[in-house]
Amino acid sequence: MAARIIKELKGHSGSKIFLMTKHDRLFVRKQGNIARNLQSFENLEPYHIPVPEMYHMFDDTIDMEYIDGLDMATYLANHDPKPFVDFLDSTIDKFLMITKTVDYRTTIEQFLDLIDLDSFPFTAEDLLYRIPTRLTQSMYHGDLTLENILWNPDRGFVLIDGSSGIWNSYIFDLCKLRQDLDCHWFIRNSSIDLTNQLNYIKQEIFNRWPIVNNDALLILMLLRVYRYCSEGSVEQDFIKKEINRLWK
């Protein structure tokens, strides 16, 4: 019996993602640009970080476990945010099992060279001046956003769509998470109000990892999104407005 597509899911970075079924079993198929995801899964799984199970890989395609769970907007609207903070605390503890100090200045400079900053109130040097470039390199997720976390009543929180790359530190992970906590990117098209929940999570993160309380690092993570926004799009305008708000 051949696998059958149920529906196409939202994909990023040139990938296509499908909810599939075979023998009455649901699974997710991701096609295109999967190497970064595979490396992330391979790095996280040995440390018992909750990620989907990988079933089968072929060509540039991966079949993986379907997590039947709540998205984080729904979860936070109906649950106390403290268990999520506890999950972050436990996850970062695992990330910090292997660390070293790295100077990321060249990495950041090379990234900023790819972006036209003419429409922003700062230069690359202005931004670099505010960024602590000697940071703790660690295990990491690579794209830690609330859109990439699901909650299942049996499994708890599960990280999906990890990515290997240059942002290889828990610090970049938590600053990436701030695009949702500070800027509400993940609910930009929703009328839901999660202000209290998101502020609570953000403050708990600042208390535990003070280095994350740096708006220049948040701007750097927002530029990761800005780079892939279409010129003149609503998404590009949203990111630009948030970056201008944060730059003081």
**Rounded CA separation 142/240 (Å):** 22
Q: Which range is least confidently modeled, 50-54, 80-84, 153-157, 169-173?
A: 50-54
- pLDDT (tens digit per residue) in 226-248: 998 999 999 999 999 999 999 98
Write out pLDDT tens, residues 114-145.
999 999 999 999 999 999 999 999 999 999 99
Rounded to the nearest 10°, the torsion over CA 41, 47, 51, 55 is 60
Local confidence band at 150 (pLDDT 50, 70, 90 cut-offs)? very high
25-31 and 100-103 beta bridge pairing: unpaired
Tell me: the pLDDT tens digits for 14-33? Answer: 688 898 899 889 988 998 87
pTM assigned to the model:
0.93
Answer yes or no: are the C-beta atoms of 216 and 131 closer than 8 Å.
yes
Distances 85 to 36, 202, 224, 225, 248 between C-alpha atoms, Å: 26, 9, 24, 24, 29
User: Do 26 and 65 meet the contact criterion of CB atoms below 8 Å apart?
Assistant: no
Q: Residue 210 — very low, low, confident or very high, per pLDDT cuts 50/70/90?
A: very high
Structure token digits, residue 168: 């290889």
